[in-house]
Amino acid sequence: MSSLVTLRPGSAGQPLYCFHALSGMLVKFVPLFRYMDADRPILGLQARGLDPDVEPHRELVHMARDYAAEIMQAQPSGPYALFGWSMGGPLAYEVARQLTGAGETVSLLAVGDSDVVADMKDLQRYVWPILMRNTLRLDVDPDDYLKLGTADRAARVARLAIDSGAFPADSDMRTVTRMLEIYDVNAAAVAGYRAEPYPGRLVLFRSEQHSPLGDALGWRPYVHELVIHKVPGMHQDLMNPESVPVVAEVLESYLSETATLTMAPVRT
């Protein structure tokens, strides 16, 4: 099953590869389209485990290896431009490491408010209340469900979500359950990841949300150069319509730096 998706075809300009957050899905990147160069191809990597018949990646390094291979199949040589929000940040980072390790050029590595380290329980405590209350609009106490195991929690929340109308009544229970399970699967993958040094520049979009790791979110010791761009709003707002114009403008400014570089065409 391919993870690479053409989000918006384009006829010119360096392609931008976007990496999913814990949801495994790419819908959060749609607001970018309005503010990026209209001719720029925008592609995304979504989690293969969204399909209940496909085993999900359990380790971020293996996930990144497969994503890098798909990117190189679509675009056989660099330079490559990578952007990941939330969990997608460490993913983009590890893909950049693997591409440069293979002798390729990464012209842009941008991460959206991503910590260099993550804790599984912290991720669950953060994402499940937002998912249940804000996204699915469920009138329940998320703490009651955080006590459950991944499979049990996903199945119970899936049933609540279908019964409440958050998903259509004829939704496939297995598919909805897997969509919810993938949050924990990806949380475990990113929590188990230990970054190694990267010999290039990392562009960090930083929200207004406090982190004990500081504004650099722990990345400074791992990269040759770190550039921080402040973005209004909290972590979950970074890809919302209010913040996306800032993100898009910065991405375009870096992409324009490599506009004259020769690159292989993207096979879509």
DSSP 164-195: HTSS-TT--HHHHHHHHHHHHHHHHHHHT---
pLDDT for residue 254: 96
Query: Per mean pLDDT, which range of 11-25, 186-200, 231-245 is the poorest?
Result: 231-245
* Same domain, residue pair 174 and 84: no
Q: Which pLDDT value is given to residue 267?
A: 59
28 and 109 co-located in one domain:
yes
- Tell whether 108 and 217 lie within a shared domain: yes
Do residues 20 and 100 share a domain? yes
Last residue of a domain, one of 143, 165, 189: 189
> Are 136 and 182 contained in the same domain?
yes
Query: Per-residue pLDDT for 242 more than 60?
Result: yes
Tell me the residue range of the domain where 16 lies: 4-117+193-258
Q: What integer pLDDT is reported at residue 234 of this predicted model? A: 87
User: What phi, psi does 266 have (nearest 5°)?
Assistant: -85, 135
Number of independent structural domains in the chain: 2
- Domain co-membership, 37 together with 113: yes
- By C-alpha distance, which of 72, 63, 66, 71 is closest to 90? 63
pLDDT at position 83 over 80: yes
Residue-wise pLDDT for 45-72, tens only, equals 999 999 999 999 999 999 999 999 999 9
- Whether 165 and 62 map to the same domain: the answer is no
pLDDT value of position 260:
55
107 and 131 co-located in one domain: no
Instruction: Determine what percent of the chain is predicted with pLDDT higher than 70.
Output: 96
Predicted confidence at residue 122, as pLDDT, reads: 85
- Asked if residue 59 and residue 32 are part of one domain, the reply reads yes
The answer to whether residues 61 and 28 belong to one domain is: yes
Q: What are phi and psi of 45, to 5 degrees?
A: -110, 115
Q: Is the dihedral of CA 120, 121, 125, 128 positive or negative?
A: positive
Residue 264 belongs to some domain of the structure: no
Which residues are 227's β-sheet partners? 203
Q: Would you state the pLDDT for residue 231?
A: 92
Assess if residue 265 is contained within a domain: no
- Where a domain ends, among 189, 220, 246? 189
Return the minimum-mean-pLDDT range out of 106-110, 184-188, 254-258, 260-264: 260-264
